[in-house]
Amino acid sequence: MQTFETDGSRLVWRGDGETLVVEPWGHDSLRVRSALKGEVVDADWALLPAVDTGTARVEIDGDVARLHHGAITAVLEQESWLHDPIGRTRFFCRVTFLDAAGQVLLRETSRGGSLDLTARWLRPLPGADLQLTASFDAVEGEKLYGMGLYQQPVLDLKGCTLELAHRNSQASVPFVLSSAGYGFLWHNPAIGRATFAANRTEWTSESARQLDYWVTAGPNPAAILRSYADATGHVPMMPERGLGFWQCKLRYWNQAQLLEVAREHVRRGLPLDVIVADFFHWPHMGDYRFEEEFWPDPAAMVAELTELGVDLMVSVWPQVALASENHDHLRKNGLLVRAERGVDVQMMFEGPSVFLDVTDPRARTWLWETLRRNYADYGVRTFWLDEAEPEYGVYDFDAVRLHAGPGSQVGNIYPQAFSRAVWEGQQGDGVGDAVNLVRCAWAGSQRYGALVWSGDIASTWPALRAQITAGLHMGVAGIPWFTTDIGGFHAGDSTDPAFHELLVRWFQAGAFMPVMRLHGDRLPYEEVTAADGSRRLRSGGPNELWSFGDEVYEILARFVRLREALRPYLREVMAQAHTEGQPVMRPLFVEFPDDAACWDAADQWLLGADLLVAPVLEPGARARAVLLPAGARWTCLRTGEVLDGGQVVVRDAPLGTLPVFARDGALPELIGRL
């Protein structure tokens, strides 16, 4: 019997109805797929078509096959034995990945002798679907990073279990980087779970058509991240308006109010790149247009903002209210997500609604044509794609069906498709400098100009700390454009001195994040009514730089101006993200992998390669410890003092400033600006 088949550099094993395919997929990278009772399919959820580098070679020696491809080798080992409990021969194939030196990077779990385990467990469900579990031996001493955005302060994910599902303030991006020298993408948009336990690593999917994952090897984190970006797509070059300050609140509820805020920025000499018209500027969700009473002349509004040097960003929700003027058209043509059972209402916020099915190419085309007619034709070129998880009223993912498949099988692709709809529409219309804010992402979202923010988080100190690790993990997971609601979203009181301190510290951190954006649903609230006395969604309290008192204003204004001074440097960092696939907000180990302490630094980061940022994350704190990585000298931007790396120092941090250090003499023009 032939143990393995080859097709060029493609290696195939068959046994007990399983077809296992291992093949090169980008530099130093391999893709593994497995199907039951059929051939594997070329699902393109996140991976781009493979580039044939011509370096792969296959060696077969009886029951062992090796696929060598640059810095990575896959070893496939078949076992066959007479299995007495079932009275027939069984066939098993174990896959091991080696690095360039022949050391084990990752290995599927063994059969375990009498335990009779299965590393690739493909359990048939009714129909053609499978429930999947892929199991790997734990790698001793490894540390793990990436996986997207979860609301927790943990940096090293070893020992964690993570839901593979999106929620408001959670974005599952199933790529993990290991300190052992590999990167792993679970190429499957199904609802599931990843467990990085002490005894094994397991990836599960509730429903799938095949097992599908991608592995890469590299000498350092930067090389691994570059290969991952090559495989799933590089982020575009960040437009100029993404480098400055963005002003937002829940919500400017009329045209005059929004324009007055932009004019006040100009009067005060405060830099401002983007101002936001938030949700419910429309009559009903799914209308995708301004309500005339409150926004009487969008074209004039955009024209004045342009004259002021400010871009308008407009909120777009994927919800379509049952009362929307577009609902019946979308329902008739099958362009809405459909409930599998029961009454087809998927959310009740401000009335019953359902979600546009952006996994359907026809729905994506319809969405952009509507946005073009009602926004882009007025000059709007920046969109806020809210609710992108999507945020079902109840997260019963198996209760919905999309064009791409059942919700439990494909649900995680939704935010990527939402970004894709607007990006491809803009590109088709010649908008070459697109950036769109989106509340969720999946692998590959970055190539569609997705700027991901961390959702509706609390206005608390623990929430601030959690956004640091969220941003670091998102960068490692291949999403370089990241931001948060500065000050948190929920219930910060603009009149409360305790909130003022939190806001100041968050604002300082935000000045050194990929995008600096002030947003929140502040107290006290403001009720809104139409001219006929009918209710509209309320507005939050004041959230402008001058809304929190003179002392706070002076600090915030200084950091907005500092952000403007960072623009040339940020442009260079964004170019590195675009061309090299590197995070903008980087964990220290990306630049300093040889300093063991850098793999555990969860409360500071590098903005690009040259700025070390250590925000204050505790109320009342006026100093903090800072790790200075070994292998560089560090200049304090506040004092100009130069310190050797490889040490922890304690630095003063009065309310008006935070510790920031420049690497090896970089950015001398910023000394004294803090």
Q: Which residues pair with 401 in a beta bridge?
A: 338, 406
Res 127: pLDDT: 78
pLDDT score of 13 more than 80: yes
The pLDDT tens digits of the residues spanning 166-224 come to 999 999 999 999 999 999 999 999 999 999 999 999 999 999 999 999 999 999 999 99
Tokens of 634: 């560090």
Can you tell me the distance from the alpha carbon of 353 to that of 336, in angstroms, rounded to the nearest whole number?
Answer: 10
Task: Give me the long-range contacts of 339-342 (CB less than 8 A, separation at least 24).
Answer: 339/399, 339/400, 339/401, 340/398, 340/399, 340/400, 340/401, 340/406, 340/407, 341/399, 342/399
Tokens of 467: 């956004």
Across the chain, what does the average pLDDT equal? 97
Share of the chain above pLDDT 70, in %: 100
The pLDDT tens digits of the residues spanning 131-160 come to 999 999 999 999 999 999 999 999 999 999
How confident is residue 89, by pLDDT bands cut at 50, 70 and 90? confident
- CB atoms near residue 534 (< 10 Å): 7
| DSSP structural state of residue 170 | B
Strand, coil or helix: 446? helix
Lowest-confidence segment of 7-11, 434-438, 504-508, 597-601 by average pLDDT:
7-11
Nearest residue to 459 (alpha-carbon basis) of 619, 586, 317: 619
By the 8 A CB rule, do 458 and 484 touch? no
Place of tokens 């291949």: 478
Res 27: pLDDT: 94
Q: What does the H/E/C string look like for 263-274?
A: HHHHHHCCCCCE
The residues, any chain, with a CB within 8 Å of residue 375's CB and separated by 6 or more, are: 288, 289, 298, 314, 383
Quick one: average pLDDT of 266-287?
Answer: 98
Nearest residue to 110 (alpha-carbon basis) of 142, 135, 80: 135
Classify residue 507 as exposed, middle or buried by CB count within 10 Å of its CB (0-12, 13-18, 19+): buried
Can you tell me the distance from the alpha carbon of 556 to that of 483, in angstroms, rounded to the nearest whole number?
Answer: 17
Quick one: average pLDDT of 476-484?
Answer: 98
Q: Which residues pair with 146 in a beta bridge?
A: 176
Whole-structure pTM value: 0.97
- What is the full DSSP assignment across 184-215? EEE---SSEEEEE-SSEEEEEEEEESSEEEEE
How confident is residue 90, by pLDDT bands cut at 50, 70 and 90? confident
Q: Please report the domains of the chain, with CATH numbers, ordered by start residue.
A: 4-232 (2.60.40.1760), 245-317+361-395+405-580 (3.20.20.80), 587-670 (2.60.40.1180)
Strand order from edge to edge, sheet including 10-15 = 4-7, 10-15, 18-24, 29-36, 211-217, 182-186, 171-178, 144-149
Can you tell me the distance from the alpha carbon of 582 to that of 309, in angstroms, rounded to the nearest whole number?
Answer: 30
Res 1: pLDDT: 76
Rg (CA), the chain: 26
Query: Which residues are known to be catalytic?
Result: 386, 389, 456
By the 8 A CB rule, do 553 and 560 touch? no
The pLDDT tens digits of the residues spanning 44-87 come to 999 999 987 678 999 999 999 999 999 999 999 999 888 888 89
By the 8 A CB rule, do 581 and 230 touch? yes
The pLDDT tens digits of the residues spanning 586-617 come to 999 999 999 999 999 999 999 999 999 999 99
The pLDDT tens digits of the residues spanning 390-401 come to 999 999 999 999
